[in-house]
Structure 1
């Protein structure tokens, strides 16, 4: 098969780790840092995170764009994206497991009342609270793609009453599934803890808003591990301060890193984590990328190819 040239670009770098992984997996691959690309016409594929406007269009013979994450909004925000070039999401089982672990941990924290005890400790208050049984705690998963489906299954195994919402109908074992506009309100009404795992598209931007929070049970909790663009930040603060929501766990933000003066840092009912729910690991993700590159060489399709029209 013809030798491929793969260009790499990411603010997080890790170039050396990716280079070592590909050297073992695909010795014939020409893996090039974007700064070292001398001939754009020789680049067959690109692996990237947050590519700048027009950068992808600068490669005249580009045949594949590999996202460095499960989401692709960071790529599709480029108004000059070459629409004829396939875009592939990164679906790494290790990342899926990391996400399910993170969400499960945060759901359990909220379920058992850990944030309440932390606040009580700060004022020296000894006040026990009896938590609901897991079977009586209703968890809603907003988005039933690869990550949402795996997370729902993990929470079912623990014993939670799990529901999920998706744009189109889904059927998952032991998960109450809602879909479309008609299913959104009844889904929210039974979400004591809401987990957002949606892709960020024009249809989902700002979906975590005052209108959404108002349809949830009073005192519900929110976990956002989707994208910062899903959340209307001022609406969350208002919902927490009014008691409509009780707690929020935020791993993604409109601006990253989160600015030092942002009110999320010091709010007593918000937990901030720095976009770490499912971090891309070159050791495992390189196996997935290598398979996608071999598919390119063989002229095969990709199971995780993005529908550019829908944005996921």
Structure 2
């Protein structure tokens, strides 16, 4: 469940009023005069600030800005909310954020934020859960797009068009395939829902299935004893089963969070366990895959195809050797970048800014500290 934070204890005099002041006409006037400032970091994912600014256009006391990465250190002390996007917010930057009350992500990934440093400086850190906004559904759809693109040989099809070939190449179908969903969180769940009608066998791993299934059933308004939800996955496993599942899957979809335990988890040992010719899709974080191991297994032909929406460095180098392989599809980190998802997340950010301005409890976000 999304946790709420009462910001009365957090808000400074420049952001919130006391209850007595807010109850008076004078207090309401003072509230409107104050400005709560929201900073979006970096040039990437521009729809995030654009949709947020559009949502808040009738609230002149909320200021929404975006800044290049190099400018953030010099201006971060002027802002009350920071939306990091792909910025690395380290301890040095957080120390400069003298007025900051909340650091958040336009989505779920907070691996770039020094949460300990934020906590030390009394700054809350939060994410927007994917299932609440349509972000997870959007990412699941992108995973299917990449899977089908690899199976139907998208790059070769484009070459056939250029060469005026008809009826080539010969592709594969999802039907009858075994798909290993590596990490059954919000995206994994949405992916399993959409994959089932394709006639696939679904394997998945998660650290704790019992607590997750109970939470998911309750959040959907179903009694915990109703295990219909359980039927989405044909075989469940723990983290210890990743090599076993990789050895029998035709397609592996990486949906893991990136942390110190999962960084580089798709390595040479993992590839060695995979069935020869199997495809790998990643819609989570680029750092989950070891670059050298990916290139080696593409070159050797052991890896049958690679579909990634996230890369090791972003923006991705268009001259990277990995793009020379015909069985590689890469998209520019747009799995969650759909208008419904982004408008929904912009509303969350906008509502949080309004709540912080008013000294009200913050809702719609999940705190990690």
Question: With structure 2 as the length reference, what TM-score do the two structures score?
Answer: 0.70
- 1:202 deviates by 0.7
Counterpart in the other structure of 1:18: 52
Answer yes or no: is 1:47 the counterpart of 2:83. yes
Q: Decide which moves more: 236-245 or 226-235.
A: 236-245
Change (3 A) 1:305 1:177: farther
Change (3 A) 1:208 1:36: closer
Aligned pairs (5 A) from 1:85-234: 85-91=123-129, 93-114=133-154, 129=170, 131=172, 134=175, 136-169=176-209, 170-171=212-213, 172-176=230-234, 178-234=236-292
Whole-angstrom distance in 2 between the partners of 1:28 and 1:6: 8
Whole-angstrom distance in 1 between the partners of 2:196 and 2:38: 41
Q: Assess if the C-alpha contact under 8 Å between 1:91 and 1:288 holds in 2.
A: no
- 1:252 deviates by 1.4
Whole-angstrom distance in 1 between the partners of 2:285 and 2:162: 31
Counterpart in the other structure of 1:285: 345
Q: Assess if the C-alpha contact under 8 Å between 2:178 and 2:203 holds in 1.
A: yes
Change (3 A) 1:63 1:116: same
The aligned length equals 304
- 1:226 deviates by 1.4
Partner SS for 1:72 = coil
Change (3 A) 1:117 1:16: closer
- 1:212 deviates by 0.9
RMSD, aligned α-carbons: 3.4
Counterpart in the other structure of 2:26: none
Question: Which of the two has higher C-alpha Rg?
Answer: 2
Whole-angstrom distance in 1 between the partners of 2:111 and 2:166: 45
Q: Please, which runs of 5 or more residues in structure 2 have no aligned partner?
A: 1-15, 18-30, 214-229
Partner SS for 2:38 = strand
Question: With structure 1 as the length reference, what TM-score do the two structures score?
Answer: 0.81
Counterpart in the other structure of 2:108: 70
Q: When you count helix as a share of all residues, which structure comes out higher?
A: 2
Change (3 A) 1:292 1:197: farther
Q: Assess if the C-alpha contact under 8 Å between 1:22 and 1:286 holds in 2.
A: no
Change (3 A) 1:266 1:288: same
Q: Decide which moves more: 32-41 or 248-257.
A: 32-41
Change (3 A) 1:258 1:33: closer
Q: Decide which moves more: 142-151 or 280-289.
A: 280-289
Deviations 1:206-261 (CA, angstroms, capped at 9, x unpaired): 01111111112211001112111111111112112222211101221112222243
Q: Assess if the C-alpha contact under 8 Å between 2:102 and 2:123 holds in 1.
A: yes
Whole-angstrom distance in 2 between the partners of 1:148 and 1:264: 26
- 1:103 deviates by 1.1
Whole-angstrom distance in 2 between the partners of 1:252 and 1:291: 29
- 1:113 deviates by 4.9
